[in-house]
Structure 1
Amino acid sequence: MKTRNKNLFNLKPYWLALGVASSLVLSGCADDGKDGTDGVQGPAGENGTDGVSQLVTQQDVLKTNANIAYASYGDSLIGAISLKSALQALIENPTEETLNQAKIAWVESREPYLQTEVYRFRSGPIDALKDDGTMGEDGDGPEGQINAWPLGEAIIDYVANAVDGDPNPENISSTANININIIADSINFPEINKAILKDNFELNGDERNVTTGYHAIEFLLWGQDLNLDGSGGGPRDTSSGTRPVSDYYFQDNGHLGQCTSGAGQGSADETCVRRAAYLMAAADLLVDDLQRLVDAWNPSGSNNYYHSFVAGGDNSLAKILEGMGRLGYGELAGERMNIALLTDSQEDEHSCFSDNTHRDIYLDALGIQNTFLGQYTRIDGQLVEGAGIDDLLVVNGHAELANQLRAHLEDTMAKVRVIDVRAKSGLPFDNQIQLGINEPNITASINALVAQTSVIEQAITALNVATGDLCQDTEENIGNACN
């Protein structure tokens, strides 16, 4: 039996300490006394319900899903604001400690955001919300600015001259469309701000030329991960990028004449000033984009996406199921895991600078499971919980299918947890993919995601809704999960 915490949207000192309560309006989700499920709870085991409310409705599921979206995007915004504070501390006083604290803040900021990726692939705000606050088409939303990858490193800052046998890795001469470097070019870019970053995002229409979001900040904190590819007979080392803190030394923070662009590479003071400006502009833009998503999902907003989604009936239910399937199959199993495995390429690793890809994988999968169960654990430990897809399947006479999908999701989580644990134990994802295309833990995770997508297809049929093709987002040959 599941009940949503009636006070989980009330402001507490935890939020106030972060200084962002007024911008988030997190107290706006009014309690209707129903905890996300209408009707009377049935006794556990009665009529095969396993304690699920006999009167759980489709709209209960939609409300729970929307409330979780608001909470998880709210947590993402809180994390981004905390990250921005850590970046400011680094710029004002660049030391090994402040650089390390900024890295920790970046990693922590990713934890809630990655669980929101299940809200992609369904024409919602992340994919379709325009700058003016209206809903457009897929591609009009802020997702690319927030989380697109791989990054166009050479557009942003210095890159290595040779990596893994490539004489021009991600530098100006390696890609015809990359012919600028924002930090280095003070003539064409006398000022670095949010507008400059946005204007040069996906330069010349090339999706590789990403200049914003989490991964731009990641690159500016860690630098390129220049591990060996094993072609010389040895494995990659297990380190991430090694950008020196001296890349942020400049006169105003007490380091005149000590600016670098890489270890041992002296640079003009202006370069480090501009690098700091880029870092803060990227953080400002990230906060702006996440705030727009919070506003779109705010239950207290007027005429925003939250209300149209909750009132959307079968169309909204279809969006939930389509997002679950497409994230797991095409994006996670296909694009983020299988391509990296087959190519043994760090450039195809989602968080390649920080070696945080294991968390990308685990938390994406967790977001899918959260949606099925109708639950999400906030960054302060509070639980948002209500009616989930599992409940809806049961009350519509598909208890066996609900159990089957639950088992597949648990199996996937067990498989991706192995990748996560191995990385935390010292074998990051870029080392795991180097073990070969038959690397058992990664292939097992891919196969589990494919299998769960097949059962999501069955749930779509059982609930009699129409979705797009769950397998449309990858050309990888990972198995046919779609009808």
Structure 2
Amino acid sequence: MKLTLIGLVALMFASVSHAELPGTPKLYITTNGTQVNLYWDEVSGADNYTLIASNSNDGSLVGQFDLGANTQVDTVLPPGSGFFVSIRAGNTEGNSGFSLPRLLLVPSVPAEIPSVQQVIQNYARNVIFNTYIDLAEQTKLLRAAILELQLETTAKNLHQAQNAWRTARRPWEQSEAFLFGPAETLDLDPALDSWPINATDIQNVIDSTTPLTTETVSAFEPTLKGFHVIEYLLFGSNNNKAASELTARELAYAIAAATALSNDAQTLADAWSPNAGNFLAEFSKAGAGSTTYPSLASALQEILEGMIGIADEVGTGKLSKPLAGRDPSLVESQFSANSRTDFINNIRSIRNVYTGTYLLSEGPGLNALVKSVNPALDEAISNQIEKTIATIYAIPQPFTESIISNADSVQAAINETKNLVALLIDQLLPLARSVR
């Protein structure tokens, strides 16, 4: 075969610039009766995702489903059906392995109506505490990935550290429907996730002679530590950081900030842990000995205010403010282009609270109480949560460009988020206030 000079150069370039195999996604499932929601962490470098389903009785293959670039599936399944489901990512270089199979069961008969106390206890245990445990674990893995990057500052290790940041970001964003208790009283919310940050201030720290130890960074003001400082150091100002650009001071800062982040996440988990601060018991004993929550209604009020608060923040803050000013600098998680995923996970935090589920843990949720007295309202809330997620997902990436070139899609997401807020305030909140 005869190659021209141009063809030879193109072949050589292709051999050194090929894409890497994508990592394996992590699959999550939430259910609400026969309504099933599957979603997975977006894998950097993935062009498509494939879902495999097997029969839960004998493991026989049901089918493989090409889902394109989608990172979620919403469907209704027959009562009594059961499957093992897994997800894999693919690109031009091939496919990742399938994720660990998750058991998906759709109940054949309606669940018994839980008591309000059971819903509150499940919320504290299976939603809040499990989310914080996950956050503590994922931030430890983020720190480990940055340490590996410092030892070998390669493009591959930078890529892995960036993915670790995105993965750790998920449980934090899914915790934003319950930023009360220790997250508030211990000032852990600003320490973990202050926004906006100032790149000039960060550069001043890098250029200074301040020792970049865990102790010094932990003592910094919130805008000089936390998720977004680490994001800026790993991704650069426009998601284009190269490993060769990382300086020793930047790496030291990233490690110290990641250690401080991990410590704060562990403090938050410990504050709820039965073996430590045990705010879990304080919340679970609402109306039965809790000094913070003297009645069941006061605990339900806290739950609903958290749901309403994050829905309103997404609609009137995270989506509306950048759109109103057509100002990309106001977009949260702009350095990593993770903004849209952040917003979706915020609404998923509402779904987790409403259904009483997180990862492998599930139990009675608010939905069971609502359905028992007003099935139409339960259906309306569930549908509005999913519609809000879908309209946010429909915003083209990156979000920083969509606020200028796809304003209508951003406005549609704002409208649906505000519809969700109105539904929670006008119809769900009065139900909570009627509880004694």
Relative to the length of structure 2, the TM-score reads 0.70
Query: What is the alpha-carbon root mean square deviation over aligned residues?
Result: 2.3
2:390 maps to what in 1? 414
* AA aligned opposite 1:216: V
User: Offset at 1:79?
Assistant: 1.1
Q: Which of 55, 58, 61 is 2:116 aligned to? A: 58
CA contact (8 A) 1:150 1:348 kept: yes
| Paired residue secondary structure (1:285) | helix
Are 2:209 and 1:118 aligned? no
User: Offset at 1:199?
Assistant: 3.4
What is the distance in 2 between the residues matched to 1:447 and 1:52?
A: 33
Q: Which of 67, 73, 90 is 2:132 aligned to? A: 73
- Highest RCO, 1 vs 2 (Cα 8 Å, sep ≥ 6): 1
- Map 1:251-266 onto structure 2 (within 5 A): none
* AA aligned opposite 2:116: Q
What is the distance in 2 between the residues matched to 1:59 and 1:440?
A: 43
Are 2:303 and 1:245 aligned? no
Are 2:152 and 1:93 aligned? yes
Equivalent pairs, count:
322
Distance 1:398 1:214, change over 3 A: same
Distance 1:144 1:153, change over 3 A: same
| Paired residue secondary structure (2:266) | helix
Off by >4 Å, runs of 4+ in structure 1: none
Question: CA deviation digits over 1:363-387, x for unaligned, max 9?
Answer: 111111111111122xxxxx21111
What is the distance in 2 between the residues matched to 1:316 and 1:192?
A: 42
1:289 maps to what in 2? 264
What is the distance in 2 between the residues matched to 1:417 and 1:346?
A: 18
| Paired residue secondary structure (1:307) | helix
User: Offset at 1:247?
Assistant: 3.3
Structure 2 residue runs of 5 or longer lacking an equivalent are: 1-30, 34-78, 81-108, 287-295
- Map 1:6-25 onto structure 2 (within 5 A): none
Percent identity between the two aligned chains? 26
Q: Single out whichever of 385-394 and 192-201 deviates more from structure 2.
A: 192-201
Q: Which of 71, 82, 97 is 2:141 aligned to? A: 82
Q: Which of 327, 351, 356 is 1:374 aligned to? A: 356
* AA aligned opposite 2:433: N
Question: CA deviation digits over 1:191-245, x for unaligned, max 9?
Answer: 112332243315xxxxxxx1111111110011112xxxxxxxxxxxxxx2x2232
CA contact (8 A) 1:408 1:452 kept: yes
| Paired residue secondary structure (1:182) | helix
User: Offset at 1:288?
Assistant: 0.6
2:216 maps to what in 1? 196
1:390 maps to what in 2? 367
CA contact (8 A) 2:270 2:276 kept: no
2:305 maps to what in 1? 322
What is the distance in 1 between the residues matched to 2:224 and 2:205?
A: 10
User: Offset at 1:82?
Assistant: 0.9
Structure 1 residue runs of 5 or longer lacking an equivalent are: 4-42, 45-49, 131-140, 158-180, 203-209, 226-239, 249-271, 378-382, 467-483
What is the distance in 1 between the residues matched to 2:237 and 2:277?
A: 44
More strand by share: 2
Question: CA deviation digits over 1:435-481, x for unaligned, max 9?
Answer: 26xx2221111111111111111211022269xxxxxxxxxxxxxxx
User: Offset at 1:414?
Assistant: 1.9
